[in-house]
């Protein structure tokens, strides 16, 4: 069962459930079984089901996950970031994409601190990565963006580094929603 794809596992599970639930309903009583060439008398069925607890939010960036790299494009953005969780990362390339999920309509505050490079902090809607809905645009080592009245859903956070790439000075990113 471990070598089967998720789709194959799902098909087997659905088939087994149909056999247990639907087969007895559509098959006639034993007295009439002489007309049917197949009869299954299933009393118990044991299925190997693996339950896994998945984390609700991404683990904090650290040495063990290469400080959230690679996260250089929206398609491989790191997340979802937890509310008020601090994520350290290096400005070692131009694009560091993260994403958050707002559970309900509300506000979002994104703070970038200890940024020892030249760049920008931007926020995009998940459906539009070409037009930022917030743009710090002033540079500096500390940047904060505040947005209100945002619809529930996913949003990208981009830490854009134009110059000063390094792997010696971590910055921290925190989203509060």
> 33: which DSSP letter?
G
Mean pLDDT for 62-79 is 91
The predicted-structure confidence for 32-52, as pLDDT tens digits, reads as follows: 545 555 555 666 666 666 655
Global confidence as pTM: 0.68
44 cis-preceded (ω within 30 degrees of 0): no
pLDDT band at 28 (very low <50, low <70, confident <90, very high): low
Asked if residue 153 and residue 81 are part of one domain, the reply reads yes
| Res. 83: pLDDT tops 90 | yes
Asked if residue 5 and residue 77 are part of one domain, the reply reads no
Mean pLDDT for 64-84 is 92
* Residue 60 falls inside a structural domain: no
The predicted-structure confidence for 84-132, as pLDDT tens digits, reads as follows: 999 999 999 999 999 999 999 999 999 999 999 999 999 999 999 999 9
Counted domains in the chain: 2
pLDDT at residue 22 in the model: 56
Contact (Cβ atoms closer than 8 angstroms) between residue 99 and residue 154: yes
* Residue 146 falls inside a structural domain: yes
* Residue 129 falls inside a structural domain: yes
Asked if residue 85 and residue 21 are part of one domain, the reply reads no
| Res. 27: pLDDT tops 60 | no
pLDDT at residue 11 in the model: 74
The predicted-structure confidence for 127-160, as pLDDT tens digits, reads as follows: 999 999 999 998 899 999 999 999 999 999 999 9
Q: Which H helix or E strand runs over 159?
A: strand 153-163
Residues 6+ apart with CB under 8 A from 10: none
Asked if residue 81 and residue 111 are part of one domain, the reply reads yes
Spatial CA neighbour of 160 closest among 69, 97, 70, 94: 94
Q: Report the alpha-carbon distance of residue 36 to residue 69 in Å, rounded.
A: 60
Asked if residue 125 and residue 94 are part of one domain, the reply reads yes
Q: How far is CA 28 from CA 15, 20, 25, 31, 113, in A?
A: 20, 15, 8, 8, 71
Q: Report the alpha-carbon distance of residue 17 to residue 30 in Å, rounded.
A: 21
* Residue 26 falls inside a structural domain: yes
pLDDT at residue 61 in the model: 87
Asked if residue 170 and residue 135 are part of one domain, the reply reads yes
* Residue 66 falls inside a structural domain: no
* Residue 34 falls inside a structural domain: yes
Q: Which H helix or E strand runs over 125?
A: strand 118-125
pLDDT at residue 18 in the model: 65
> 14: which DSSP letter?
H
Q: Which residue has the higher pLDDT, 73 or 35?
A: 73
Domain holding 21, by residue range, is 1-55
pLDDT at residue 132 in the model: 98
pLDDT at residue 88 in the model: 95
Asked if residue 96 and residue 32 are part of one domain, the reply reads no
Residue 113 belongs to domain with CATH number:
2.60.120.380
């Amino acid at each position: 069962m471990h070598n089967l794809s998720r789709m194959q596992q799902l098909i087997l599970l659905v088939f087994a459930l149909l056999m247990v639930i639907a087969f007895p309903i559509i098959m006639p009583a034993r007295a009439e079984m002489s007309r049917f060439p197949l009869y299954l008398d299933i009393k118990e069925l044991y299925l190997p089901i693996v339950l896994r607890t998945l984390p609700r939010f991404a683990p904090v960036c650290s040495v063990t996950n290469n400080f959230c790299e690679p996260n250089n494009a929206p398609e491989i953005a790191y997340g979802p970031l937890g509310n008020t969780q601090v994520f350290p990362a290096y400005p070692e390339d131009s694009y560091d994409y993260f994403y958050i999920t707002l559970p309900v309509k509300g506000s979002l505050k994104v703070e970038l601190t200890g940024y020892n490079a030249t760049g920008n902090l931007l926020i995009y809607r998940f459906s539009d990565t070409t037009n930022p809905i917030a743009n710090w645009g002033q540079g500096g080592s500390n940047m904060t963006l505040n947005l209100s009245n945002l619809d529930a859903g996913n949003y990208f956070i981009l830490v854009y580094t134009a110059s000063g790439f390094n792997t010696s000075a971590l910055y921290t990113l925190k989203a509060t929603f």
